[in-house]
Amino acid sequence: MTGLLRTERLEAGYGTMQVLWGVDLNVSGNETVVLLGSNGAGKTTFMKCLMGLLPSRAGTVTFRGEEITGLTTRARVERGLSFMSELGIFPDLSVAENIDLGALFRPRADAKRRAAELFELFPVLKEKRRQAAGGLSGGQRKMLGIAKALAAEPKLLVMDEPSAGLSPLFVATVIRSLAECRAGGLSLLIAEQNVKFLELGDRVFTMEGGRVHFGGTPAEIQADDGLRRAYFGLGQDDHVRA
């Protein structure tokens, strides 16, 4: 696997409040990395920093061998980074327009071809392509968020809490869709607090207090009693069924 994304000693915050304290993290090509952390751990701030929505105070972000720390969000999107935020759709726009927005910086012909592919991947969205996105169910909105992010044909899809606001049934559907994307060769960086997403991960990082505390495989995190208690709420003799 080749290096795709690397952050080194990344620091960021809001006003006088420092949130990230030197985050080191990396994602390789064709790899899925899950960033596990509770509310307030700094996951969303880290994602914003990756996408250039929040300036970093120190440290570097390198993507496909190029340092992108000072680049605009658009420049990062054009280089193959795509972000799916928790509330990442446009409710007043139609489903088709939402997908178009994902491919905004690609030639029109590419965007059209990609939209047709995505409608094949998500047939429910094809049926509702002319409807306002705000009228979709929670699960369908999440599907649309994923489709919109995929429309850019990214090299790395960065996702902030894809399970937020979803019932367990829809979480399973989202995980299935992401597994298909992953099988297609897409790299994923998923910030989550739902441990179900560990089944997608090749590697897991844990974040607390704006610092990365653990980096390893899902099996390693489950083998560590302290981490298992912290993230799964389970004791030494319990087992996780993802």
Partner 1 sequence: MRKGFVRETALVLLPLVVVLAVMPWLYNNQLLLLNIVVFLVLAQGLNLTYGFSGYLPFGYVGFFGAGAYGFALTLMHTAAPPLLAVLVGGVAALLAGLVLAPLLRLQGAYFGLASLAAAEALRHVIANQDLSEITGGPYGVRLDVPFRPVLTYGLAIGILVLVMGLVAWLRQSRFGLRLRAARDNPVSAATAGIDVVHGRLVVWLASATAAGLIGAVYAWSAPTFFPEAVFDLSFSIFAIVFTLFGGAGTLVGPVIGVVVLYGAYNVIGVSAPKYFQLVYGLLIMALVLFFPAGLASLAVRRRRDG
Q: Does 124 bind partner 1 (CB under 8 A)?
A: no
210 and 41 Cβ atoms separated by less than 8 Å:
yes
What is the rounded distance in angstroms from the CA atom of residue 76 to the CA atom of residue 51?
A: 7
198 and 242 Cβ atoms separated by less than 8 Å:
yes
Binding to partner 1, residues 165-184 (CB under 8 A): none
What residues contact 37, with CB distance under 8 A and at least 6 apart? 43, 191, 193, 206, 207, 208
Nearer to partner 1, 58 or 132 (CB): 132
Binding partner 1 (rule: CB under 8 A), the pick from 6, 64, 93, 196 is: 93
Nearer to partner 1, 93 or 230 (CB): 93
Binding partner 1 (rule: CB under 8 A), the pick from 18, 21, 53, 208 is: 53
Helices in the chain by DSSP H: which ranges?
Answer: 43-51, 73-78, 95-102, 108-121, 123-127, 138-151, 168-183, 218-223, 225-232
Nearer to partner 1, 19 or 51 (CB): 51
What is the rounded distance in angstroms from the CA atom of residue 153 to the CA atom of residue 94?
A: 20
Q: Does 77 bind partner 1 (CB under 8 A)?
A: yes
Q: Does 153 bind partner 1 (CB under 8 A)?
A: no
Nearer to partner 1, 80 or 215 (CB): 80
Q: Does 78 bind partner 1 (CB under 8 A)?
A: yes
The piece of 35-43, 57-65, 94-102, 223-231 that touches partner 1 (CB under 8 A) is 94-102
The piece of 6-14, 91-99, 169-177, 205-213 that touches partner 1 (CB under 8 A) is 91-99
Binding partner 1 (rule: CB under 8 A), the pick from 92, 219, 226, 239 is: 92
Structure tokens at 173: 């559907």
Nearer to partner 1, 10 or 152 (CB): 152
63 and 156 Cβ atoms separated by less than 8 Å:
yes
Nearer to partner 1, 1 or 104 (CB): 104
Q: Does 14 bind partner 1 (CB under 8 A)?
A: no
Phi, psi of 25, rounded to the nearest 5 degrees: -155, 150
Using CB atoms within 10 Å of the CB of residue 16, give its burial: 0 to 12 exposed, 13 to 18 middle, 19+ buried.
Answer: exposed
What is the rounded distance in angstroms from the CA atom of residue 102 to the CA atom of residue 190?
A: 18
Binding partner 1 (rule: CB under 8 A), the pick from 18, 73, 173, 193 is: 73
Nearer to partner 1, 47 or 204 (CB): 47
Structure tokens at 183: 């099988």
Q: Which residues bind partner 1 (CB under 8 A)?
A: 51, 53, 72-78, 83, 85, 87-94, 97, 100-102, 104-105, 108, 130-132, 148
